[in-house]
Amino acid sequence: METIIIIVFLAGYLAITLEHNLKIDKLIPALAMMAILWALVALGIDGFGSWFDSTKHALVDGFADLIHEDKMHLVEETLLHHLGKTAEILVFLLGAMTIVEIIDYFNGFATIKGFIKTKSKRKLLWLFSILAFILSAIIDNLTATIVLVTILQKVIKDRQTKLWFAGLIVINANAGGAWSPIGDVTTTMLWIANKVSAYELVLHVLLPSIVCTIVPTFIASRFKVFTGEVEDTPVEEQESTSRYGATMLYLGLGSIVFVPFFKTVTHLPPYVGMMLSLAVVATFAEIYSNAKFAISSAIDEEHHESSHHSPVHSALTKIELPSILFFLGILLAVAALESLGILFNYAEVLKTAIPNTDIVVLLLGIGSAIIDNVPLVAASMGMFSEPTDSPLWHFIAYSAGTGGSMLIIGSAAGVVAMGMEKIDFFWYLKKIAWLAFVGFISGGLTFILLRDFVLNV
């Protein structure tokens, strides 16, 4: 049965990568794969010899000897656990995307666009790269990607140029998120599990992350696509400004930055703080728009000319729901592999076959581009028993955080960028993947040198 499950996963993954060739939205195979995998797990539960307890990050003792009812109870508990963890990410994402769309409703990003005085594509590349690196550490790589791609859409009109910029934004947002405890879901996992402390994480991972940003950006800046200047926005396409645009921009970004502080004080999951931030931003948006939000307000303006959509309703209608559903499908599909101990056993095999831990961690980073980095980090937390702030945990944080950039569906930032800019999987694989790999390896070598010759002196 495990062989069938792996085949189904590989077939679903292949269908996702061939989205444009098959003319089928990637969320369809992702959702189908998720449902089929869990159905196979439930049907063949008595034939499995191991089960991975995600809450304890370890295999369940004596699983093979349990009766059918107890095994099914474990399946239900595990599925509910993974659904809850996935829902935390999705609700957080929905809140962040809604805030970004509310800012856009008031044309708030025109404020940042107004600060961009240069027309040089090369200077713009460095500007977006630096912004992606810094913003992702503050408001997480996922939200930073949403914000910067939104701005990108307003600054650059040429389709191919936008794709290149979006690809580099993904690389740099993931690099920026790796050194911050709130910058990426995997670093947050390690932080919450007391594997790393914020200070030591920054001390060990900041410089490698900077290298991971600078190297691919410098190489890309020499490409022909980044020579010359961007075209001016035609007069007829220029957007009207709102007197509340700057206020909503600062309020929106400030409310997102508030989330980690809320988490630190209350120790509640980040999505709770994001919902509070959304409520605050939505309140001011409603006041500024002089509209009251209610379900009944979603009436066709064609029938009621006096009706006025609220900014909240308008923002919710623009959210990339297919990306949300795809994220749900892929995370729960990978959770099925994790629950059977397949990922855990894969990590153990690597550890046995390759005594060099650094190579194992680098391979985990490369694997995070193929399989989601969250379960891989969870497996590593169960595989290694090093103490808090061991350099191993810092290397895992870097590797898992930046390794996903090598494939467009290898990170949350990539998935969102793929949805917002309709980036083709194979275009990214051909044009951007090698840049991400060079940055990943450069940063990894920097980490090893820093660990062995500087911080241990």
Q: Region 141-154: what's the mean pLDDT?
A: 85
The pTM assigned to this predicted structure is: 0.75
- Phi/psi for 280 (5° steps) reads -65, -50
pLDDT at residue 219 is higher than 80: yes
What are the pLDDT digits (tens) for 115-140?
777 788 899 999 999 999 998 888 77
Give buried/exposed letters for 79-98 (b at 16+ CB in 10 A, else e).
Answer: beebeebbebbbbbbbbbbb
- 221, amino acid identity: S
pLDDT at residue 91 is higher than 50: yes
With CA atoms as reference, report the closest residue to 213 among 398, 395, 420: 398
For 387, the 3-state DSSP assignment is coil
* DSSP summary character for residue 267: -
pLDDT at residue 292 is higher than 50: no
* DSSP summary character for residue 410: S
Rounded CA gap, 37 and 174, in Å?
A: 29
What are the pLDDT digits (tens) for 158-190?
888 899 999 999 999 999 999 988 788 788 778
Rounded CA gap, 115 and 206, in Å?
A: 27
Would you call 44 exposed, middle or buried from its count of C-beta atoms within 10 A (0-12, 13-18, 19+)?
middle
Look up tokens 């390759």; give the residue. Answer: 354
Which range scores top for mean pLDDT: 55-59, 156-160, 274-278?
274-278
What are the pLDDT digits (tens) for 307-316?
456 788 888 8
Enumerate the β-bridge partners of residue 120. Answer: 229
Intra-chain end-to-end CA distance of the chain, in Å: 51
pLDDT at residue 294 is higher than 60: no
Q: What is the mean pLDDT of the chain?
A: 83
| CA 242 remoteness from chain centre | 31
For 210, the 3-state DSSP assignment is helix
- What pLDDT is recorded for position 304? 44
Neighbour tally for 437: CB within 10 Å: 16
Say if CB 329 and CB 115 are below 8 A apart. Answer: no
**The two structure tokens encoding residue 232:** 């001016």
What are the pLDDT digits (tens) for 239-266?
556 678 888 888 988 888 888 788 878 8
pLDDT at residue 95 is higher than 50: yes
Q: Region 258-281: what's the mean pLDDT?
A: 87
- What pLDDT is recorded for position 309? 65
Give buried/exposed letters for 226-263 (b at 16+ CB in 10 A, else e).
Answer: beeebeeeeeeeeeeebebbbbbbebbbebbebbbebb
Q: Which helix (H) or strand (E) holds 149?
A: helix 141-155
- The residue count for the chain: 457
Q: Which residue has the higher pLDDT, 355 or 347?
A: 355
pLDDT at residue 448 is higher than 90: yes
pLDDT at residue 337 is higher than 80: yes
Q: Region 58-62: what's the mean pLDDT?
A: 79
Q: Which residue has the higher pLDDT, 233 or 225?
A: 225
What are the pLDDT digits (tens) for 310-334?
788 888 888 778 878 887 888 888 8
- Of 78-92, 227-241, 281-295, 399-413, least confident by mean pLDDT is 227-241
Q: CB neighbours of 267 closer than 8 A, spacing ≥ 6?
A: none
- Of 11-25, 391-405, 416-430, least confident by mean pLDDT is 11-25
Distances (CA, A) of 454 to 79, 214, 248, 399: 44, 21, 44, 20
Q: How confident is the model at residue 338 (pLDDT cuts 50, 70, 90)?
A: confident
For 98, the 3-state DSSP assignment is helix
Q: How confident is the model at residue 293 (pLDDT cuts 50, 70, 90)?
A: very low
Q: Region 4-9: what's the mean pLDDT?
A: 89
Concatenated DSSP letters of 333-347: HHHHHHHTTHHHHHH
Q: How many CA atoms lie within 13 A of 41 on its CB side?
A: 30
Say if CB 278 and CB 253 are below 8 A apart. Answer: no
268 Rama class: left (phi>0) / alpha (psi -120 to 50) / beta: beta
What angle (nearest 5°) sits at the alpha carbon of residue 147, between those of residues 150 and 118?
A: 70
Neighbour tally for 182: CB within 10 Å: 22
Give buried/exposed letters for 185-216 (b at 16+ CB in 10 A, else e).
Answer: bbbbbbbeeebbeeebbbebbbbbbbbbbbbb
